């Protein structure tokens, strides 16, 4: 299996490298790819050093799979070129997510939609992935009517520039305005803006939660509203999700359903103060769910707290799981 990793030097790309190793993915030829300024630099995979190659050279090498984490513009330009050669592209940017001709995949939910004809596959947004892993089994059984979502997202979701800003502020430095990833300091702060503002007053991140959730769950009738907040946590997104269902439920049935669902760990032991936190989720691949409780202000309402490592399940792990599914089902 010839595998190209596009964006190998980036924050998510480095984690993808780790996850490929941990999953013992059947790589027979490893091709790290990055921008022209990184060509020739070395990266390590399975204890061996590899030289980074440029985009066109990688296309010409015709990998079986190319996992992209290099931004939407790069993906729009280069993913079709890989696909034309027969390479299956798994893209972590927002470039293809809402394209009606492309699949938006979370393996625990809808990997069975994939076919050999899918040459560009979209990896959903990090905050969407962890939420739908928890919501999908509940939607199948009870039918979601409405979702009210509040996210508390790590600065690592913004990338290396945000990490550098946080570290500088934490150490007491005052970064220059031009070097800041945000309009304000992130250290000891909470910024109610993830991504850019849109004409409707919501941010792009908030609308990703709306549109991507509907596409992944295959239900355009869902009523969804979201508020996304950036917080000074070094890895791990947290979400408060209020779900209103069409059908009645019992809390214990919800708990058992989540415990038996793939990719979920339920942490909901209040007597022993056990609930999901980024501290528990860091460097782990599963989604953690807890604080399960009925919302008595509406009929069939449920509150839940969902946490995952945004660089893992929110990005790298999900992409590698897609690749693993393709290999295991002989779709590549």
Query: Among all residues, which ones are annotated catalytic?
Result: 126, 237
Q: What angle do CA 288, 125, 140 make, to 5 degrees?
A: 60
- CB neighbour list of residue 21: distance below 8 Å, 6 or more residues apart: 45, 46
- Give 274's DSSP letter: B
User: Under the phi-then-psi rule, with left for phi > 0, alpha for psi from -120 to 50, and beta for the rest, what region is 46?
Assistant: left
Residue 32: Cβ-neighbour burial (10 angstroms; 0-12, 13-18, 19+)? buried
What would the two tokens of residue 83 be? 């696909």
Strand segments (E) across 80-234: 88-91, 103-104, 120-122, 144-154, 223-231
Task: Please say whether the dihedral angle defined by the alpha carbons of residues 115, 216, 10 and 71, taken in this order, is positive or negative.
Answer: positive
The CA–CA distances, whole Å, from 186 to 52, 78, 264, 312 equal 33, 33, 30, 22
Distance CA 119, CA 306 (A): 31
């Amino acid at each position: 299996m010839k595998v190209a990793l596009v964006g190998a030097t980036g924050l998510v790309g480095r984690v993808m490298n780790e996850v490929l190793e941990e999953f013992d993915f059947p790589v027979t030829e490893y091709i790290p790819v990055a921008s022209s300024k990184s060509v020739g630099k070395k990266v390590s995979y399975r204890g061996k050093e590899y030289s980074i190659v440029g985009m066109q050279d990688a296309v010409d090498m015709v990998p079986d799979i190319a996992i992209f984490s290099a931004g939407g513009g790069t993906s729009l330009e280069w993913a079709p070129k890989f696909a034309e050669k027969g390479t299956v592209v798994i893209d972590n940017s927002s470039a293809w997510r809402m394209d009606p001709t492309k699949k938006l995949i979370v393996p625990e939910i809808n990997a069975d939609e994939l076919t050999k004809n899918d040459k560009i596959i979209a990896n959903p947004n990090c905050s969407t992935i962890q939420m739908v892993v928890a919501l999908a089994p509940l939607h199948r059984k009870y039918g979601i009517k409405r979702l009210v979502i509040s996210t508390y997202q790590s600065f690592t979701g913004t990338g290396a520039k945000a990490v550098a800003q946080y570290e500088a502020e934490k150490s007491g430095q005052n970064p220059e305005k031009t070097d800041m990833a945000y309009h304000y300091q992130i250290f000891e702060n909470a910024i109610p803006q993830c991504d850019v503002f849109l004409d409707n007053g919501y941010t792009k991140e908030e609308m990703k939660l709306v549109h991507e959730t509907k596409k992944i769950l295959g239900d355009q009738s869902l009523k969804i509203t979201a508020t996304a907040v950036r917080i000074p946590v070094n890895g791990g997104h947290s979400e408060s999700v209020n779900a209103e269902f069409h059908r009645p439920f019992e809390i214990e049935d919800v708990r058992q359903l989540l415990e038996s669902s793939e990719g979920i760990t339920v942490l909901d032991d209040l007597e022993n103060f056990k609930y999901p936190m980024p501290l528990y989720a860091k460097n782990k691949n599963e989604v953690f769910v807890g604080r399960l409780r009925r919302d008595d202000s509406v009929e069939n309402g449920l509150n839940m707290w969902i946490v995952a490592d945004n660089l893992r399940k929110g990005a790298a792990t999900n992409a590698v799981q897609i690749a693993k599914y393709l290999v295991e089902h002989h779709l590549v």
